[in-house]
A and B are shown apart, each in its own frame.
Chain A
Amino acid sequence: MSDFSLSMLADVAEGRLSVEKRVRAFLQKCRDNKELNAFITLFEERALEQARAIDRKRQAGQQTGRLAGMVVAVKDNIVIKGAPTTCASKILGRYDSPYNATVVERLLAEDAVILGKTNMDEFAMGSSNENSAFGVVKNPHDPERVPGGSSGGSAVAVAAGLVDAALGSDTGGSIRQPASFTGTYGIKPGYGRVSRYGLVAFGSSLDQIGVFANDPAVSALVLEVISGHDNKDSTSAAVPSFSAKSNGDVSGLKIGVPAEYFQEGLDPVIEKGVRDLIDDMAGAGAEIVDISLPMTDYAVSIYYIIATAEASSNLSRFDGVRYGRRAEEPADLTDMYARTRNEGFGDEVKRRIMLGTYVLSAGYYDAYYNKAMRVRRLLKENFDEAFKKCDVILSPTTPSTAFRFGEKIDDPLSMYLQDIYTVSANLAGISAISIPAGKDADGLPFGIQAQAPPFNEHVLFNCAQFIHNLKSI
């Protein structure tokens, strides 16, 4: 686990700790854990350069940023100027971004050191990190098992202590599910909280950048830094920032427990772990409310219609014309498109492009896309109703702990059901976090998910802090 704590930031600011030394240690650790395959690109010289600049800044008596000394990783679907962005796909070839994502600008402005870009499922499509053109990522709790996905690299980099925090992206659970599988804190903020400018789009109406960390306070601080309105993203919300400080006091908190999240298919060990934590919170003064989210049963189905529809259009730009890989010696334009995309995309990406193209096709649009959008509104209304009765909804994050490599890869439906508890938050645009809740008999971690209204992330961090305090006793 990472040795990071917020007091370390003070050590850096007051000159007791050199950022360069810290970065060197992390780089060594990354090399020692190469077999985890968490990174696609590791910024050795670039990170050291940045670290030295921060040290010089401090020595010169200049004010350093709020994240000075913190070492972070960025998922490889978030662009960094002059560095490769692969989205774990072959199709981008040797693509270097000409600009920084807004979140990257904000991290750099606060002097976070970016150590590298993490492995993922190709274009963030997958729940196991097995869909990467750069190989699988291994779960540090059991290298025979998947780390979850699609932000598997970021989850593992944090879980193995290779960085202090990492950015991921979450379209249907891509932060929370790997957080659950790796025993880390993974937050997906409310839609619009964080700018998507520079995040390579998968499902634009669902995608949101979030944070992995081993400590809720670190997670909250990083999220606070990357949050805020951005006029480069029309969907970013103009809402006041939240405070990163939570004390973990849950007395008076109204906790909603939805029956629909505790049904068949849920590992009994996880169910017990989650229910025990809810009882602990009740013991600390929280009020438990039974709620119902009847549209939950349709969430996975409509998610795979909406997300794939948007993806089929978002991924059209990878055509071999301007950047990335292009098929050699094409016969004509159509042949160039067909072969470039056939050679460049992996199977899961192709499957989703085809699904999305189908649901948007003339004659099927109303039956699929339009209907899914209507159900999405109903699902959102379910949450609006529920949040009239409670402040936060607690449930498991995933129905099971980490599975073995190859176990689900040939069964897309069972893989898609990994998202059963997580997709709703994306569809409804609300905020959600996975908090480490316990381990099963094999020592594999699982998480408890907390969901709150779109910009009530502080409530989530408060729950996380409560559980964190409980485990630290």
Chain B
Amino acid sequence: MESCGHIAGRLTDTCLRHPIATVVVVALVVRIVLMPLLTYDYDIYHWGVIIQNLQSGNGLYDVSGYYYTPTWGYILGFISAAIDAIGAVDVFGIRFTDLFPIEGLDFDFHTATTTTVAFNVAMKVPLVIVDIIVALLLRWLIIDVTGSERKGLAGMVLWLFCPTVIYMSGIQAQFDSISALMMLLTVILVYRDRCFLGGMMFGAAVLLKFFPGFAILVMVAYIVVRHRDDGTAVRRVLEAAVGAALMCAVLFLPQILDGTFEYTLGFIFGRMDMQSDNGWYVVVAQYALIAIGLLGMVFAGIRMYRSDAADADRNYFTNLLLAMGCAMFISATPQYMMVMLPLLILVMMSSEGRLRICWILITFGSFIGAFANNNIMLLDSASEFLGLVTPEWIVSVAEGIESHTLFGITPVLLVNSLGSIIEYVGFVILVLLCFDEALRAKLPRISEALSKIKRWDVD
């Protein structure tokens, strides 16, 4: 009989011989443990409503429940068909009277309609699969760019074990990992000169969540720079444009035909309306942040356009990161940063400026922001269906947290705001690092300070 020491030794050897499989397995185990235990109630309740609506013959926008552009709704349609084929989820959720008090909390994006463990797992499994695919694609791209297998593996680890990535797919069931996958695929396809397919992916990605749209100028400029000398730049850009337009037309077709097209952009304008409820200064700040996003998009595009063909690939990734980093200023909603995280990791692994501090600040800030919002209510489903804790205990803890305020600010809002600030600091440093050379010439002190925080070599 083998001793524990021998088994541990053999396990270690196996892990060292198969590091990719080891990383994937550990990442899966972490998520599999979390999936049934912790769930954010509000978003996943809506995924159930959307599936209910489409199964009862209503489109995405005929009945309240779906507020995004259509791509996620179609993915949910596919998931619902898969669930039906397997026949594994007969009850989506139940409304529990003992959880009613959580609907009256200060952060009121909670519902007492609690989804079942089976439904939670069914919604999260596709997102976990996407996490793994993103990790493998990212590894592929990092190795392609740097030639280093070790950096490729490090990139996988930084993606798969980013707490926010784990949280969004394993706990919150938010689909930003799909956004990250589509963004990454677009980047790769354009990088590999597959402009038509890249355009199609870009169109679908923008209609999932709009952030990839901020990369458009960099991508167009990259295609132009790469094909400036061979005279095919216009043709290539047109191919991409046709791909994107075709995809958008196909995805919007049902809404154009049934007259619900105006509802498809509700989420974007809804965000603006929500900010306008908070006073004029919040609206001004919101427009200023949008301006940063737009300026970043234009500036990064110009920088890309002015690149030499020889430096096109390197500049492509750094300018994409600059554009996406500026776009992130628009909202520090925790999950949004996932769309640019693969780019951040790629540039970390391939550039002189390692950006470690940005990864730490952005992931830590976004994670505590998300966790603060949902806190003890993450146990709703495990409480009602697994009996892990009592609903009364959840309610008492949630109300207890809210009863302690500082200048009228609840702990939830305080920690969430702190998370946002940390995240924003990460974005500011990220953008500043993109201007490293200019800073070195004009603001040497800031450049010197930045150089102290960007040293990190995984090799």
Q: Do A and B come from one complex?
A: no
